[in-house]
Amino acid sequence: MREEKAKEYCIVAIDAAKFVNTAMVCTIYGDILQDPFEFDGSMTGYQLMKKHIDATCEAYSLTQVIVEIETTAH
């Protein structure tokens, strides 16, 4: 990815679990923009996650979001 475009992106890393998921928002270089936060798998939980993502994008003038989900293996 070219340097000038990299500043537009954020990565949302989600650790998906059975009951409580954890997510954080960072740059493509790994700089944390939003500390890890928890949310559940309900509509309310996903709305909370979207609120965190939207607030981070607005605060850092980001226009592109990449979501990465890692599921817990049992």
- How many CA atoms does the CB half-sphere of 43 hold within 13 Å? 0
pLDDT along the chain (74 residues), means of 10: 82 94 95 97 96 97 95 70
Which of the 8 DSSP states describes residue 58? H
CATH of the domain at 36: 3.10.20
- Position 72 scores a pLDDT of 72
- Position 6 scores a pLDDT of 86
**Pairing label, strands 64-71, 20-26:** unpaired
- Position 73 scores a pLDDT of 67
- Position 23 scores a pLDDT of 97
- Position 40 scores a pLDDT of 95
Extended strands (E) in 1-74: 9-16, 20-26, 32-40, 64-71
- Position 4 scores a pLDDT of 76
Structural domain for 26, as ranges: 3-71
Split into its structural domains, the chain has a count of 1
